Structure 1
């Protein structure tokens, strides 16, 4: 089966909603084309992010956590080639300004990040709405959910070719919109049917969307939390920009009644996103297995 592509020009045709639902159920990830974000803005954002990731480590360490694990992440034993910066985005410019102040970003860099944040947030809300509509549900609740940026740098060299850049994992949140590196590959996603890892080659001007653990719980198991990883395929630095729709700020994640009936009993206990995220971190379960710890025992 070919890696699915979702063309936003197909909406509101019913076929578009069908393709989106099937890709989210069968793969848990897909390529997004004909989106609303200007290509020029994507290009400028990539330059700004690369310049911030190239800052000295002592400056990057000023990017401190808002929630645990949301700030600068240095290379580790598990992911020695990967480092990243983080930004909790709450739909306002305030958090962007705080992030930029931590790193001493210029007024131009701040402006680009703010424009990109507004654009990708709007795209995320639109995509979340379409996903909910594909199940004939409303999605107004998504506007109150937590969001986060992760800016990733993979320090690939010719000596590291064949090594892992980021371990196999699922995303903990609801949806992730990823601006992948337009020239340096390495992203691989798991085919749910065969278990094979499928390369997702660079495709400039598009996004890759991942469905996360929270979405699988919200859908009562209907949606697939897509497993993916990054491998070093060439000796060039790789940069990606991920925007994550995480979960409710305070309310519990719980499957709507439309997903629950006598043939599909409720699978997961209600949980807050923060509770679930801490389970993943404390148990070191980042491959989707953390959901088993919130599963209702039969």
Structure 2
């Protein structure tokens, strides 16, 4: 696997809006991602550090306990190491805004009251970040009333066990995210995340502690009529060590269709995708084993393979 050159993706200051609006949209169009700073009013760095301590502890649990983290929706629970991703495992929590879901997650993993308190606090704070970014993104695109408040999110704790012998190996295969966008708290010390630029070349992102990455997924690309870019990315082993990250995936409307706003459709930009339910699209991706955005072609206007909710 060839090495990727390092890049600095656009940095968005959450305290400078609407001043950063055009920069945010250009980042979504050119890179499909950006980094946010000055988010402390919503999610302080001290809470980020506490959460990292909790997830490191949870990932050290015995395998039999981690396997109790079962799916709520398909592929939302524990991911053990696999043939495709032998250096990676992860825990998942679907609908992190639900107290019942958090309770079930903590109970199955025997989390302590202190750990549960931090998970709840972090979940509530990252939910505020999600809603804030969704609002700013909608306003930047000219949508006055757009909101992602109430949309379910999937919270995932990722661990990569890298050794000297695995340097250059894949930690996580090339993929796009399924949902609207993802908030990523990356590892503070170990790099490895690589993103594909517009030329099709993978570029490496260095760690930047205390910041978040925002990554556009397939739903975001479809909803925006292809204007926002669903970026392909992967994780590669750069150095020995335990690499951990936290990803919060904003999925899609809870029970409503993903529809392209009329503001995004005109003679120069005809409608590219039919309306669909998020969960139908997720299951289509899994059933077809299409993990790098290819499934969007199957929900295109005029496509032969349409989702159940589109017909």
Q: Please state which band the TM-score falls in when normalised by the shorter chain.
A: over 0.9
SS of aligned partner of 2:91: strand
Runs of 4 or more above 3 Å deviation = 138-141
In 2, the alpha carbon distance for the partners of 1:281 and 1:123 equals 28
**How far has the Cα of 1:203 moved from its partner?**
0.5
Q: Which runs of 5+ in 1 are unaligned?
A: none
SS of aligned partner of 1:237: strand
**How far has the Cα of 1:25 moved from its partner?**
1.0
Out of 271, 277, 284, which is 1:279 matched to?
A: 284
Out of 4, 8, 19, which is 2:10 matched to?
A: 4
Answering whether residue 252 of structure 2 is matched by residue 262 of structure 1, we say no
Q: Which runs of 5+ in 2 are unaligned?
A: 1-6, 304-311
Out of 216, 231, 235, which is 2:240 matched to?
A: 235
**How far has the Cα of 1:2 moved from its partner?**
4.5
Distance 1:160 1:229, change over 3 A: same
In 2, the alpha carbon distance for the partners of 1:282 and 1:262 equals 34
In 2, the alpha carbon distance for the partners of 1:63 and 1:93 equals 16
**How far has the Cα of 1:141 moved from its partner?**
4.0
**How far has the Cα of 1:90 moved from its partner?**
4.8
SS of aligned partner of 1:143: coil
Out of 166, 170, 180, which is 2:172 matched to?
A: 166
What are the equivalent positions in structure 2 for 1:1-298 lying under 5 Å apart? 2-13=8-19, 16-36=20-40, 37-192=43-198, 194-297=199-302
Supply the RMSD in Å over aligned alpha carbons.
1.2
- CA displacement 1:264-289 (0-9 Å, x = unmatched): 11101111000000111011111111
- CA displacement 1:50-106 (0-9 Å, x = unmatched): 100110100000001110100001111111111000001252322111100010000
Work out whether residues 156 and 234 of structure 1, in 8 Å CA contact, stay in contact via their aligned partners in 2. Answer: yes
**How far has the Cα of 1:249 moved from its partner?**
1.6
In 2, the alpha carbon distance for the partners of 1:139 and 1:83 equals 39
TM-score normalised to the size of structure 1?
0.96
In 1, the alpha carbon distance for the partners of 2:103 and 2:151 equals 20
**How far has the Cα of 1:155 moved from its partner?**
1.1
TM-score normalised to the size of structure 2?
0.92
**How far has the Cα of 1:41 moved from its partner?**
0.4
- CA displacement 1:163-210 (0-9 Å, x = unmatched): 000011100000100000000110011112x21111110011011110
**How far has the Cα of 1:143 moved from its partner?**
1.3
Structure 1 partner of 2:307: none
Distance 1:66 1:209, change over 3 A: same
More displaced 10-residue stretch of structure 1: 100-109 or 143-152: 143-152
In 2, the alpha carbon distance for the partners of 1:176 and 1:90 equals 14
**How far has the Cα of 1:32 moved from its partner?**
1.1
Work out whether residues 160 and 244 of structure 2, in 8 Å CA contact, stay in contact via their aligned partners in 1. Answer: yes
In 1, the alpha carbon distance for the partners of 2:148 and 2:15 equals 23
- CA displacement 1:195-241 (0-9 Å, x = unmatched): 11111100110111100000000000110001111000011010000
SS of aligned partner of 2:256: coil
